[in-house]
Amino acid sequence: MKAFVLTQYKQPLQQIDVPEPVLGDHDVLVQVKAAGLNQLDEKIRLGEFKQVLPYKLPQVLGHDVAGTVVQIGEKVRSFKPGDEVFARPGNDSIGTFAERVAVAEEDLAIKPATISMEEAGSLPLVALTAWQALVERGSVGPGQKVLIHAGAGGVGSIAIQLAKYLGATVATTVSAGNRGFVRELGADVVIDYRTEDFTEILHDYDLVLDSLGGENLERSLKVLKKGGRAIGIAGPPDAGLARQLGGNPVLLGLMTLLSSRIRRQARQLGVTYEFLFMQANGKQLREIAALIDAGDIKPIVGRVIPFDQTSDVLAALDKGGVRGKTVVSHL
């Protein structure tokens, strides 16, 4: 089957023929109809996650999939051939930039009935990231105030909607041209990051979801109230990630060191910082699918490209300019 493969770090993905996926007893073989492009794929291509996710090259990339079940493992009970499904495969099972992919049953969910394959393919990674930040870790609820950076992006556009559904007051940072767009998503306070300083406008926030890192993350700590929480998805990684990935002592020490500066700054302000590297979770995807079919959250697909453009578009992903997600279509 055809797939886009990382053969060497910092080099473009290569479209080549690869063997069919090996199906385990608890795996589901999915015919890929759509696959979202994510910054995570690009960071892996550039070698930024070599120590965290030491893939043995060559490796098919791709972390989002929507498609149709074509075969199931002997012990699979929740799915059958013909089902329309979506997933973010686990770290050991990525590879959705391909014609077919094997996904663990526990990571898979039935596709929301009210949306297209391309819309479903845009969702898993960003929707699970928003869910795990706001629901699982943040316990966001009515009366709370949440700042979501880069609100027009893939994670931000879903996180705004989810935070509003949970009852929070939502602030976000965007360029001026996206003000109306994020207000339609539910943002209450919209800040133009080019002309306004969010630290002068926002105060006593309960949670910040930061997808930018660096100075933006450090400044975000200042808008939190005492006991508030900053959750970063761009880094730096912390000891929690090392434990999540198996608790290697060397990795634990490295990540503790990498996050020591921001954690110290947070302590001085009476707040906390933690890094979120989202995990595959079919159960959470089912809950998200219910919200989508109820009309509480809508996927945002800014661009759909054909499969053969995957490598070129992925390499240009950090240039921005797309609202929501870019999706590869096999339709």
* Tens-digit pLDDT profile for residues 217-255: 999 999 999 999 999 999 888 888 878 777 778 778 878
Structural element, H or E, at residue 103 = strand 100-104
On the question of pLDDT at 201 being above 80, the answer is: yes
Q: What percent of the chain has pLDDT over 90?
A: 88
Helices (H), the chain: 39-45, 117-121, 124-131, 154-165, 179-185, 198-201, 214-220, 239-244, 249-258, 260-269, 282-293, 310-315
Contact in structure between 84 and 42 (CB atoms under 8 Å)? no
Copy the structure tokens of residue 234.
Answer: 């761009």
Domains of the chain: 2-123+299-329 (3.90.180.10), 125-275 (3.40.50.720)
Give the pLDDT confidence score for residue 246 in this predicted structure: 75
pLDDT at 183 over 80: yes
End-to-end CA distance of the chain: 16
Whole-angstrom distance, CA of residue 33 vs CA of residue 106: 20
- Is omega for the bond preceding 81 within 30 degrees of 0, making it cis? no
What does the pLDDT look like over 295-313, one tens digit per residue? 999 999 999 999 999 999 9
Least confident interval from 70-84, 157-171, 246-260: 246-260
Per-residue b or e along 285-321, where b marks 16 or more CB atoms closer than 10 Å to that residue's CB: beebbebbeeeebbbbbbebeebeebbeebeebeeee
Task: Give the model confidence (pLDDT) of 101-116 as tens digits.
Answer: 999 999 999 999 999 9
**How far, in Å, CA of 192 to CA of 269, rounded?**
25
Of 63-67, 83-87, 234-238, where does mean pLDDT reach its minimum? 234-238
- The predicted model scores a pTM of 0.96
* Omega of the bond leading into 124 within 30 degrees of 0 (cis): no
